[in-house]
Amino acid sequence: MSTPPLPPTAETPQVLLEHHLKQLRLPTFLREYDKLARQCAQESLDYPRYLLRLTEHELLERERRATERRIHQARFPVVKGLETFEFSAMPSLNKALVLELARCEFIERHECVLALGNSGTGKTHLALALGLAACQKGYRVRFITAAAMVHELIEARDEKRLLRLQKQLASYELLIVDELGFVPLSKSGAELLFEVFSQRYERGSTMVTSNLPFEEWTEVLGSERLTGALLDRLTHHVHILEMNGDSYRLKQSKRRRNQSPQS
């Protein structure tokens, strides 16, 4: 004779509910459902409003985690936003254009951004801030220096995985290439860099920062023909941020020294 099943305990529905929520991968539901139920009961809210509030919590938390993943995958060396950029220290910069770019509509249009100016004027900070804004708006972003990208491309070519890396670089909705011009490139490195930009032309947005004016890019790329073809693609649909002026980092350093107590 079989043993009859035990009568359900008061805890059984809660245990099953939490099990189902884990299976459904609804961690915010699992964490918040009881607390929100009590709040909604105190506010005399009906079941649809309770479920609405619960689903809103889940969606907001899911978007927060997705944004964190995009920021991590972008490989920013440091996370910086526009709120910490001192526009007053760079009067030559078009602030209205920067704020417009932060809306990220240029990414939808597959347009490029070039930030040109002296070393220490905040080009990398702006690139990081625009990249962060893009991540927050749901775009896939990759940040890398020109020298590091060329190194990765050459290494991938030597290891017979160049095509895979090129496809990966082409897939980002915004590719930020920092510090073009700081290190001269080999002939093969310049050609591989050009190939990346060419593959992204009118298919994805590319942002480049450089301490060199256009007429000096040949010194880095080593070929007038290649430089002309590269600039032709980068400047077809482009927003240019001119950032010439005194070094912001140098001014900060001088300010810190002046503020330090004299021995």
Same-domain check for residues 152 and 98: yes
Same-domain check for residues 148 and 238: yes
Same-domain check for residues 87 and 66: no
User: 71, 106, 122: which is the final residue of a domain?
Assistant: 71
What is residue 93's predicted lDDT score, i.e. its pLDDT? 93
Same-domain check for residues 48 and 130: no
The proportion of the chain whose per-residue pLDDT surpasses 70, expressed as a percent, equals: 89
Asked whether residue 249 carries a pLDDT value surpassing 80, the answer given is no
Asked whether residue 34 carries a pLDDT value surpassing 70, the answer given is yes
Domain containing residue 61: 12-71
Same-domain check for residues 60 and 103: no
At 252, the pLDDT band (50, 70, 90 cuts) reads low
Same-domain check for residues 223 and 242: yes
CA 72 to chain centre: 8
Asked whether residue 55 carries a pLDDT value surpassing 70, the answer given is yes
Domain contains 76: no
Same-domain check for residues 47 and 168: no
pLDDT tens for 87-103 read 988 888 999 999 999 99
Same-domain check for residues 90 and 59: no
What is residue 14's predicted lDDT score, i.e. its pLDDT? 82
Domain contains 255: no
Q: Which of 14, 21, 199, 206 is nearest to 107 (CA)?
A: 206
Domain contains 44: yes
Here the CATH number for the domain that contains residue 196 is 3.40.50.300
Same-domain check for residues 67 and 185: no
What is residue 263's predicted lDDT score, i.e. its pLDDT? 40
Asked whether residue 167 carries a pLDDT value surpassing 90, the answer given is yes
Q: Which of 165, 169, 174 is nearest to 110 (CA)?
A: 174
Same-domain check for residues 174 and 220: yes
pTM value is: 0.81
DSSP-assigned beta bridge partners for residue 175? 142, 206
Same-domain check for residues 159 and 206: yes
Same-domain check for residues 91 and 165: yes
What is residue 246's predicted lDDT score, i.e. its pLDDT? 57
Question: Which 3 state secondary structure label does DSSP give 4?
Answer: coil
Domain contains 259: no
Written as one string, the DSSP assignment of 88-145 is GG-TTS-HHHHHHHTTTHHHHTT-EEEEE--TTSSHHHHHHHHHHHHHHTT--EEEEE
Q: Which of 51, 25, 22, 24 is nearest to 36 (CA)?
A: 51
